[in-house]
Structure formats: C-alpha cells, structure tokens
Amino acid sequence: MVSQDNQDYPPRRSRGRPRGWTDKSDQNTIKSLDRAMEVFEYLSEAQGKSLSSIASEMDQSAATVYRILVTLEGRGLVEFDPAEQFWHIGPRAFVIGSRFLRRTSLVDRARPVLRRLMEATGETANLGVEREGAVLFLSQVETHASIRAFFPPGTLSPMHCSGIGKALLAQMPSERLAKMLADETLDAFTQATITDREVLQRELQIIAQRGYAIDNEERNRGMRCIAAPILDMNAEAVAGISVSGPTSRIGSEEMTALSRHVIEAAQELSLSIGGVVPDRTG
C-alpha cells in the first residue's frame, strides 16, 4: 500500500557499511586504531621484542607503543614475558585467525584461481587433494581447446604417476612418505611410469627443491601435467594445483613458462587460505 502523507522517514540503515564506505580518506579512518594495528602487525612478524626495540624500529615514542601494547594485552592479542621483558603475539590472535580459516573453503577460493590459470596457460587447470593414498580431484576448469585433459570432480588417480600426487608426496615428512611408498603399489600405466621406489624418491627430492612436479606421460600417453603444492599455515601441503594438456602443446620449450604460472597460482591460493609461500631464494 502506498502512503498518502508527506512524512519524512529517516534513511534506511546500511547492512554492514554506511554510505560512502568506499571513501578511504583520513576522515573515515581512526588514526589511533591504525597505529595500533601497525604495532600489532609488526610484532607478529618480529616475535619477542622489547618495548624499546619496537619503539625504535617503528620510529614511535615508547609511551605510545606501551599504551598500544597494554590495550592489546587486555584483549589477549599480545602478551608480556616479565622474565625476558619481551612482548609476543597472544593466544587470542590465534583464535581469531582460526575463525577466518574455518570460513574459508578451498574449492570456492580455488575457482577464480583455476580460471585465471587456465586463461594464462590455455590448458585445463585442476585442484586435487590426497585421500587414502590417492589423488582426489576436487575441481577443474577446462580449456577451450578441442583436445584436453579431463578429470571430473571425484576422479581418483595414483599418487606416483600424477603431477599433483608427486607434488604432495614431495612435501610429506620423511616418515609418512616412507610409509606411503611402502603401502602403495607402483603400477605401470605407460612406459614412462616410475615404478622403482628409489628412482621416485630421487625425483621427489628434485620436486621439493624446484617447487613443482611433472607428470611426463606417466599416467596417460600423450598427456603432460605440471603441478605445485598448496601450503597451509603450518607449511604443510593440503592440496595441489596443476595444468594438464597434450604433449603436442606442452613441450619442453613450454615447461618453464607453464611451471611459473602454476607456481604463482599455488602461491596465490596458499595465501588466500591463510597459508605460507616457501622461500626458495636461499
């Protein structure tokens, strides 16, 4: 029903953001809160710092930094070690971070990454995890090319002859890897399949060093795959991302460029779930 009177009503409240929320000017920021977050972020990267060190390295007054730390301490976000006279990140910070991790969905966050990877490489992009000694494919974005790899969600593939499988094996702790290889039958699917455990272990060492794995016609003749691991907050591999395609398009000349795209996609997805990116500069 339409109202007939001319009464002015208050504006409707925004759900979550007020009008003009895109305005990031000083008038819409709380400077003291922003400064506090700078201290909090700095301490998270440089655990175990004295008050004087934090103040000096951040070019802030000791009194200002102290008030910030005491306020954060009251919320459990930082804590003080009286014996060492050092400040550390507190347990509440982990609780809040864990809530973020609970709301993340690997598959949902992977979809745009997979699409960009497919568009950048022109090849089918895949996401998979380890389940009971095999690779379980969770998601895929297919290339538009007529000849393409196809691993629908739910497909299982042996670890030892899969790009994602070998990328995950290369990140496993030595004891778990030894048990995995002892329990798994290294069946041959093509002439290129690695069926010798010592040969496979040497390749896994190379994969761990360079950051990506290659399935070189080891599962299916005429098909290659390049994969990299997705790492969580503990630097443990929780999934793998890959591109797959025919050898006619993925030759030795294309390997370097494709591997770079795959590694970048793996790093992007790792960071989006709160994980880490390995430092390979050393």
Q: What is the pLDDT of residues 256-267, one digit of tens each?
A: 999 999 999 999
- Checking if the pLDDT of 282 tops 90, the result is no
Residues 46 and 166 in one domain: no
Q: Indicate the average pLDDT of the chain.
A: 87
The pLDDT tens digits for 15-30 are 555 555 455 555 666 8
Residues 260 and 185 in one domain: yes
Confirm whether 21 is domain-assigned: no
Long-range contacts, 266-270 (Cβ 8 Å, 24+): 266/228, 266/229, 266/230, 266/240, 266/241, 268/113, 269/106, 269/109, 269/110, 269/113, 269/230, 269/239, 269/241, 270/230, 270/231, 270/232
- Checking if the pLDDT of 173 tops 70, the result is yes
Closest CA to 226 of 238, 243, 239: 243
Type of residue found at 132 = E
Range of the domain at 248: 104-272
Q: What is the pLDDT of residue 96?
A: 81
Q: Which two tokens stand for residue 98?
A: 């864990």
Type of residue found at 143 = T
Burial 8-41 (b: 16+ CB within 10 A, else e): eeeeeeeeeeeeeeeeeeeeeeeeeeeebeebbe
Residues 135 and 258 in one domain: yes
- Per the structure, the count of domains in the chain is 2
The pLDDT tens digits for 135-170 are 999 999 999 888 878 777 888 899 999 999 999 999
Residues 152 and 266 in one domain: yes
Distance separating alpha carbons of residues 244 and 178, to the nearest angstrom? 28
Burial class (CB in 10 A: 0-12, 13-18, 19+), 257: exposed
Q: What is the pLDDT of residue 2?
A: 35
- Which of 75-89, 94-108, 207-221, 263-277 has the lowest average pLDDT? 94-108
Return the SS3 of 123: coil
Q: Give me the percent of the chain exceeding a pLDDT of 70.
A: 87
Q: What is the pLDDT of residue 22?
A: 52
Run of H or E including 201: helix 197-210
Average pLDDT, stretch 121-142? 93
Residues 160 and 235 in one domain: yes
Please report, for residues 7, 85, 201, 241, 248, the alpha-carbon distance to residue 217 in angstroms, rounded to integers and kept in the order given: 75, 59, 18, 18, 12
Contact in structure between 230 and 276 (CB atoms under 8 Å): no
Neighbouring-strand partners of residue 80: 87
Residues 160 and 68 in one domain: no
Q: Is the dihedral of CA 53, 55, 57, 58 positive or negative?
A: positive
Q: Give me the percent of the chain exceeding a pLDDT of 90.
A: 65
Q: What is the pLDDT of residue 7?
A: 47
Residues 164 and 196 in one domain: yes
